[in-house]
Amino acid sequence: MTVMEQRGAYKPSPPPAWQPRTDPAPLLPDTEPYRVLGTEAAAKADPDLLRRLYAHLVRGRRYNAQATALTKQGRLAVYPSSTGQEACEVAAALVLQEQDWLFPSYRDTLAAVARGVDPVEALTLLRGDWHTGYDPHEHRVAPLCTPLATQLPHAVGLAHAARLKGDDVVALALVGDGGTSEGDFHEALNFAAVWQAPVVFLVQNNGFAISVPLAKQTAAPSLAHKAVGYGMPGRLVDGNDAAAVHEVLSEAVQRARTGGGPTLVEAITYRVDAHTNADDATRYRGEGEVEAWRAHDPIQLLEHELTERGLIDDAGIEAARQDAEALAADLRERMNRDPRLDPADLFAHVFAEPTPQLREQQALLEAELAAEQGFGQEGTH
């Protein structure tokens, strides 16, 4: 029999029956972003929680405005505003317990402040004065991360280590929609799901990776759908609905804390301001788009709910605004002080044991400073 005849006689058998390792149905996100405010679910929301969220949102909006003004005055080198995204920032901070960790990106200074970090210390990195500006261990807030998504594997590693040690710790990592296009995003979610690490990923989908719209980043039905491919639940939530974000994140954190593993939450929100003070947002989006999102403002949504239910009056609203003004005044006064900087701080806290290259760089700087000081002294004679 020829080879061709042998091939013709071969009839492949059907493949063995295959079943998916995980039923994908429970992992799929809702078809529409989950909402609380303006729905029947709002009646079940804790009034004290709603008032607390409102106070933080008002403070957050004023904080963003003041930090942006400080940038224009030259007191900050750069400021990535989170105006319009305050509900995500505040909810992420408030759902965590004291022992938990928050892993922010560069736009998440408000989340760090809501977690308890001093506002001036939260902005120190953006002023260019220090490596971080605050002690990460004091408030369990990791350093602000400028490279996209590199904080996500860090969050997974910390959460996994805590679980191995038996510590009651959950890590919540913040990332933007642009960060989901990075390899670190894939690696973090894959490891988190395989290890069942107690970590929650919150994607603040504000529509743009600087100027690149979401449609040019992914063809997925939603970013929350990406969770299914890693074997974790995906949740889709209205990111401007503070009560909804808080509820969804609370459930995800509790699931992680009780051994249920990681969750990917996508919050649909919008960056009202430009990417940073160095960006001209009018080059890639129209004012009509921005105004449409202003009509879905997180503060207005919550204030309307509170007033409609009689949970806050004019005095309560004014008290929240006055508290926000006090925060802004204190931030303005302290940020306008000239800091005392020591060039040697550049080499502090980089490595536990300085590398030869670091020592060499420090010696070069010290020599340059000594020479400059000597030149200045000669000039006074």
CB 87 within 8 A of CB 57: yes
325, 124, 160, 21 alpha-carbon torsion, rounded to 10°: 70
Give the contacts of 260 (CB within 8 A, at least 6 positions apart).
Answer: 196
Q: Which of 106, 186, 284, 332 is catalytic?
A: 284
Task: Indicate if 270 belongs to the active site.
Answer: no
DSSP 266: E
Q: Which of 154, 160, 275, 304 is catalytic?
A: 275
DSSP 14: P
Distance CA 175, CA 177 (A): 7
Q: Which two tokens stand for residue 378?
A: 């000669």
Task: Indicate if 186 belongs to the active site.
Answer: no
CB 151 within 8 A of CB 141: no
DSSP 133: S
Task: Indicate if 275 belongs to the active site.
Answer: yes
Q: Which two tokens stand for residue 257?
A: 């804390």
Q: Which two tokens stand for residue 351?
A: 């490595």
Distance CA 253, CA 235 (A): 13
CA 371 to chain centre: 44
Q: Which of 56, 59, 115, 271 is catalytic?
A: 271
CB 125 within 8 A of CB 132: yes
* Amino acid at the residue 72: K
CA angle, residues 217, 218, 222, in degrees to nearest 5: 125
Catalytically active residues, by annotation: 271, 275, 284
